[in-house]
Structure 1
Amino acid sequence: MRSILAKSLYVGLAALSLGGVANSVIAPTTANAASKAKIVSKVSLGKDGQNVQLTGKNAIYTKPGTVNGAKRVVSKAKAKNLAASKRSADYFRAYHMALTNRGTVYYKVVSMNGKYRGYIYGGRVQKAFTGGVQEATTTHKATMPTRTTGFHLRNVNKNTLWTAPKNTEYKAHRVSLYGLNKNDTFKVSKAVTKSKEGTLYYYVTAESDSSISGWIYAGEGYKDATTTEFGGLTVNVADQAATNDNSVTIQYRDAKTKAEVAKATWTTADKKTVAGQAVNDAKNASGQTLTDVLKSKLPSGYRAQSDTTIADAVKGASYGNTVYVDIMAAATSKISMAVGNVMNTVSAAPSDGKAPKADATTAVDVINPLKKGAKLTGKDVQMALSADAIKALTGEPTATVSSKLGVIAGGFTTGAKGLQTYKDKAGVEYHYEFSIDATSFTGDNWNKHFGDELKATFTAQLVLGKGTGTTTGDNSWQA
């Protein structure tokens, strides 16, 4: 019996010993399996190189991450920060592709500012840009200015041109301005906004030398004849000296007390006028009529007493005289936009058949979808507000906006197109379309006064197709 027991104990101890050995070699064996991954092909993407942004799901390595010797360049945590960045410098360019014997795709990428470079996991489908990266649209078309010629560089030593808006293309660089002088003029042929920052750029060409052209920061852009400087551009116009024979004095006065609030002068560009002559539709050096100047020179914090105040003031205006404009204190509200409901559904499958058949009740699993409460800006959505709605944002500071909420809510674009592109795991492209939640708009802002920030929430509906569109021209109403 003792002999049998001893043999049993011996066999048991042997088994435990073998088990301990087995456990000690499992991790090294797994590590060796990982180290056996190798690159089976490499190819330059060439003209198929793509502007991308990180998704934050994968780190960046000196080699494809599963290949022996790969060292981490950007951690997953840092990749998440770069994915959420609002700086164009944190976009990347995918310019090389590597395939491993495991069927995985890696892209070699470099950040637009050249700070980070390495390989990142890109899924299992070549040129699909999934996994750690997704395609990026670094700029969006913007509204062209109403004037497109006769612009100057504000400072030829400082306000330079770029081959692309800075950090929207890898290796975008300054354009040589050799031979240019401060009096040379430029014409505008394109306008874009940078997707991350929302800043406006114009593509300009020297009117005296078409070889000098490029993109320049345009600030808030050219708006009307009152604009003289914007970004790196300027319009140099000067009136002739004002005299009794060529000018009109403008006096803005409080509508109740008739006390003077501010004064201005309008001077015609015509050099043959005399005192007492009717102004009519004459223009100044900037191309502005007397009416234009009356509107543009309204003192800050005031508005015309009525819709006909300015028209009444200019009737019968003549050179050498004064026109009076009655004004009232006013405040203007701005509107912040946010996502309310998010509908991640689509109504039809694309013609290429890559997406599953779907109807309006079928959910789509897009990567990094919009979240309820997310803030929206002009870089996210092609949202416009009607002229009547913009006008309704201004009123007496002590008055509530409640009576104007219906007009404002009705002025938003219905089904406004989103500018950002989203993808599902199969690489199918989608965008959102946005519609105002009028009921919430009324409830959220009922007790707000003119001058207070108003809140607008929108339903975001997922739609098949890449996000495209042009940013709105007048976004002065956006908070």
Structure 2
Amino acid sequence: MQSSLKKSLYLGLAALSFASVAAVSTTASAKSYAKAGAYTVLKADAAERNVEATGTNALYTKPGTVKGAKVVASKATMAKLASSKKSADYFRAYYQQVTNKGTVYYKVVSMDGKYRGYVYGGKKQGTFAGGIKSAKTMQDASLPSNTTVYFTKPGKSNVTWDAPKNTQYKASKQVKDTTPFATDTLTVTKAATKTREGSLYYYVEDAKNPTINGWIYSGAVTATKPATDTYNEKTDVKVNFVSATGKTVASTTLSNLNGSDNKLATAKGTDVSADVKTKATDAWGKALLAGTGYTYTAADSTNVSAIAGAKTGDTLSLIVNQNANADTKIQFYGLNSDQTKGADQLKAYTSDTATATTVVFPKVSAAFTGAADSAFTGSDLQTYLTTNGLTTLNTPSYKDANGKQVYTKYTFNNAVAGTYSTTKNAQAFYKATVVDGASPVDTPTTTTTNSASYFA
């Protein structure tokens, strides 16, 4: 019996030891993973959140020490991106998460959008360290001796951008084709080089067509003034685009026209109607009327009749029709960098969860509207915002990282020129201020119910 008792005791202790080891093992395993807190939207201007990899840490789907984190870009890949000579391999940081062990991770996206994920950022919040460091994607350069320039080869290549490609996240073209602006005078107001490539860019402004203002590769402009319109009444036809009210909307010249024998005309009064018909297409008219809010239709009976009688030396009046109004949605951005692109888009507050970028929009009575494809200025958009009480926007109250009640106040900073469109949004930018206490819109007297119709 004593032997049986010892045996039972031995087996019991063994089982207990095994259970204890298992418990310790389970506890150790559970503690091996960190837990990430709520993400925080970074509040610095977008340009101040341009970063580059250091090559010391990999990129993950979530903070790297959190359970389930998977590698997006290995340490070796990040090292290649760190030494890259391409601006596309810079990153933009936009979220911050801190683990329960005090480790900071930043969510980043490469300028070309190829890589997106979390990278170790050191131990100090708001400071880029560890796997990333701050990057200056452009370096200031001296202005050229002659700041008056023109497009070297007008067309679809080397157009203007709101920022040189990949020097800012989602940099975009200001215009897709510079042909309609071939003879415009441009003024160089800024110069800079891409840090990695070393290529020189100019910021050019066009007083005649300010919607195309932007950055352009220096080799795409020249100080040589293009040849003036050398109208030849023996080979050419002048064209005026005229509205129904008799207003001349735009003018151009069809040059070097062929006669009915398909050879270049040699005398004033030569019938060139067939060649004019071939060249005066809808696409031709669209390019020439860009930004005016008018449309040319070659098949319009008045235009068909005018073209049918075209002779060299003539001035043709072709009818254009004003486009119907386009209700243009507005995108609101906070924390913009260069007053042309926003870091974080502001959205309408529609639920019980307030964040630093969900604002309460006032109810507005009308959309921002104008003839489709006609140009509006930044002042036009600002006037609309002022009239509709949209120059100051507030979020409802929310808790900051320390659990304190705060709200974010957005104050109008600038608006960007554009064209009225149902497919392209207008853009307005706001400076953010985090304010302690309860928000004035916690019990809003305004409503956001119409924001889906008017705001993007």
Shorter-chain TM-score range = 0.3 to 0.5
TM-score (norm 1): 0.41
TM-score (norm 2): 0.43
